[in-house]
Structure 1
Amino acid sequence: MTERVGPGGAGPPEHLTAPEAGMWQAFRDGTVYDLSSGDTVVDDPHGGHPWGPERTVRARVVCWLLLDGPPALAGRVSSLKLAGVQISGALDLAGGIVVPYVEMRACRFERDVLLPEARFTTVRMVDCSIPRLEAARLHTEGDLHLPRCRFPGGIRLTDARIGTDLMLNQAVVHRDRSGRSLAADGMNVGQDLQAEMLESYGELSLRGATIGVSLSLRGARLVNPYTRLALNAPQLTVERSLYLTPAGVGAQARSGMTPARGTRIRRFECEGGVRLDDGRFGDAVDFEGARFTFTDEQELSLRRVQTPELRFLGERPARGRVVLSGARVVNLMDRADSWPGPGRLHMGGFAYENLVPRGPFPLALRLRWVDAASAEYNPEPYERLAAVLREGGEDEDAREVLLAKQRRRRESLPVAAKLWGYAQDWTVAYGYRPGRAAVWMAVLWAAGSLAFARGDHPPLKSGEHPAWNPALFALDLLLPVIDLGQVGFWQLRGGWQWLSAAFILLGWILATTVAAGATRTLRRT
Structure 2
Amino acid sequence: MTEAAGGTPPQDWTPVERRMWQAFREGRTCDLRTGRAGGDDPLAGPAWGPDRTVRAQAVAELLLDGPPAVPGRVTALKLAGVRISGRLMLAGGTVTPYVQLDDCRFDDPLMLQECRIGSMRLVRCRLPRLDAARLQVGGDLHLPQCLITDGVRLADAHIGTDLLLNQLTVRRGRAARAFAADGLTVGQDVDAELIDFTGEFSLRSARIGGRLSLRGATLRNPGGRQALNAARIAVEHTLYLSGGWNALSAGGGSAPPPEDVTVLPFTCHGGLRLDDGRFGNAVIISRARFVLAGEQQVSLRRIQTPELCFTLPRAPEGEVVLSGARVGKLNDTPSAWPSAGRLRMTGFSYDTLPPLADFPLRERLGWLAAATPEFRPEPYERLAAALRAAGEDTEAREVLLARQRRRRETLTPAGRVWGWLQDITVGYGYRPGRAAVWMAVLWALGALYFALHPTPAAADAGGYRPHWSPALYALDLLLPVIDLGQDNAWRETGVAQWVASLLTLLGWMLATTAAAGASRLLRRGT
TM exceeding 0.5: yes
Q: Partner residue of 2:9?
A: 12
The CA distance in 2 between the partners of 1:122 and 1:436, in whole Å, is 73
SS in 1 for 2:100: strand
Choose which of 344, 356, 361 in structure 1 pairs with 2:359: 361
Amino acid at match of 2:130: L
Deviation, structure 1 residue 408: 1.7
Choose which of 62, 67, 70 in structure 2 pairs with 1:70: 67
The alignment's TM-score, normalised by the length of structure 2, stands at 0.94
For the structure 1 residues 257 and 302, does the alpha-carbon distance in structure 2 shift closer, same or farther, using more than 3 Å as the test?
Answer: farther
Question: Does residue 28 of the first structure (1) align with residue 15 of the second (2)?
Answer: no
Q: Partner residue of 1:479?
A: 479
SS in 1 for 2:175: coil
Q: Partner residue of 1:412?
A: 410
Choose which of 384, 392, 397 in structure 1 pairs with 2:382: 384
Q: Partner residue of 1:500?
A: 500
Q: Partner residue of 1:510?
A: 510
1:227-275 alpha-carbon deviations (Å, 9 max, x no partner):
1111111121111111112222362242455536664311211111111
Question: Does residue 226 of the first structure (1) align with residue 226 of the second (2)?
Answer: no
- Asked if 1 retains the 8 angstrom alpha-carbon contact of 2:316 and 2:336, the reply is no
The CA distance in 1 between the partners of 2:368 and 2:512, in whole Å, is 30
For the structure 1 residues 161 and 64, does the alpha-carbon distance in structure 2 shift closer, same or farther, using more than 3 Å as the test?
Answer: same
Amino acid at match of 1:105: D
The CA distance in 1 between the partners of 2:328 and 2:255, in whole Å, is 24
- Asked if 2 retains the 8 angstrom alpha-carbon contact of 1:80 and 1:100, the reply is yes
The CA distance in 2 between the partners of 1:386 and 1:127, in whole Å, is 53
Structure 2 unpaired stretches of 5+: none
Structure 1 unpaired stretches of 5+: none
Note the 1:186-225 alignment, pairs <5 A. 186-225=183-222
Question: Does residue 170 of the first structure (1) align with residue 167 of the second (2)?
Answer: yes
**32-41 or 414-423: bigger deviation:** 32-41
Q: CA RMSD in A?
A: 2.2
**108-117 or 343-352: bigger deviation:** 343-352
Q: Partner residue of 2:123?
A: 126
Amino acid at match of 1:187: L
Deviation, structure 1 residue 185: 0.9
- Asked if 2 retains the 8 angstrom alpha-carbon contact of 1:72 and 1:78, the reply is yes
Amino acid at match of 1:231: L
Choose which of 388, 392, 396 in structure 2 pairs with 1:398: 396
SS in 1 for 2:475: helix
**221-230 or 472-481: bigger deviation:** 472-481
For the structure 1 residues 357 and 113, does the alpha-carbon distance in structure 2 shift closer, same or farther, using more than 3 Å as the test?
Answer: farther
- Percent identity for Structure 1 against Structure 2: 56
SS in 1 for 2:8: coil
The CA distance in 1 between the partners of 2:315 and 2:294, in whole Å, is 11
- Asked if 2 retains the 8 angstrom alpha-carbon contact of 1:296 and 1:319, the reply is no
Q: Partner residue of 2:522?
A: 522
- Asked if 1 retains the 8 angstrom alpha-carbon contact of 2:300 and 2:321, the reply is yes
Note the 1:313-462 alignment, pairs <5 A. 313-357=311-355, 360-456=358-454, 458-459=456-457
Deviation, structure 1 residue 501: 2.9
**348-357 or 202-211: bigger deviation:** 348-357
Q: Partner residue of 2:272?
A: 274
**What is the count of residue pairs matched by the alignment?**
522
Choose which of 437, 454, 461 in structure 2 pairs with 1:463: 461
The CA distance in 2 between the partners of 1:506 and 1:169, in whole Å, is 72
For the structure 1 residues 46 and 263, does the alpha-carbon distance in structure 2 shift closer, same or farther, using more than 3 Å as the test?
Answer: closer
**377-386 or 126-135: bigger deviation:** 377-386
Amino acid at match of 2:34: S
SS in 2 for 1:248: coil
1:404-448 alpha-carbon deviations (Å, 9 max, x no partner):
121122122222111111111111111111111111111001101
Deviation, structure 1 residue 69: 1.3
Deviation, structure 1 residue 460: 6.5
Note the 1:32-47 alignment, pairs <5 A. 32-47=29-44
SS in 1 for 2:457: coil
For the structure 1 residues 494 and 9, does the alpha-carbon distance in structure 2 shift closer, same or farther, using more than 3 Å as the test?
Answer: closer
- Asked if 1 retains the 8 angstrom alpha-carbon contact of 2:210 and 2:238, the reply is yes
SS in 2 for 1:265: coil
1:341-364 alpha-carbon deviations (Å, 9 max, x no partner):
222222322222222349732222
Choose which of 110, 114, 117 in structure 2 pairs with 1:113: 110
SS in 2 for 1:185: coil
Q: Partner residue of 2:80?
A: 83
- Asked if 2 retains the 8 angstrom alpha-carbon contact of 1:245 and 1:267, the reply is yes
The CA distance in 1 between the partners of 2:210 and 2:456, in whole Å, is 90
Deviation, structure 1 residue 485: 3.7
Deviation, structure 1 residue 463: 2.7
The CA distance in 1 between the partners of 2:309 and 2:436, in whole Å, is 45
The CA distance in 2 between the partners of 1:401 and 1:318, in whole Å, is 26
SS in 1 for 2:57: helix
**290-299 or 256-265: bigger deviation:** 256-265
SS in 2 for 1:372: helix
**37-46 or 157-166: bigger deviation:** 37-46
The CA distance in 2 between the partners of 1:110 and 1:479, in whole Å, is 95
Amino acid at match of 1:168: L
- Asked if 2 retains the 8 angstrom alpha-carbon contact of 1:292 and 1:315, the reply is no
**302-311 or 184-193: bigger deviation:** 302-311
Amino acid at match of 1:472: L
**270-279 or 496-505: bigger deviation:** 496-505
1:155-186 alpha-carbon deviations (Å, 9 max, x no partner):
11011010111111000011212111111111
- Asked if 1 retains the 8 angstrom alpha-carbon contact of 2:443 and 2:478, the reply is yes
Amino acid at match of 1:186: G
For the structure 1 residues 9 and 354, does the alpha-carbon distance in structure 2 shift closer, same or farther, using more than 3 Å as the test?
Answer: closer
The CA distance in 2 between the partners of 1:190 and 1:359, in whole Å, is 41
Deviation, structure 1 residue 116: 0.5
Amino acid at match of 1:282: G
The CA distance in 1 between the partners of 2:359 and 2:315, in whole Å, is 18
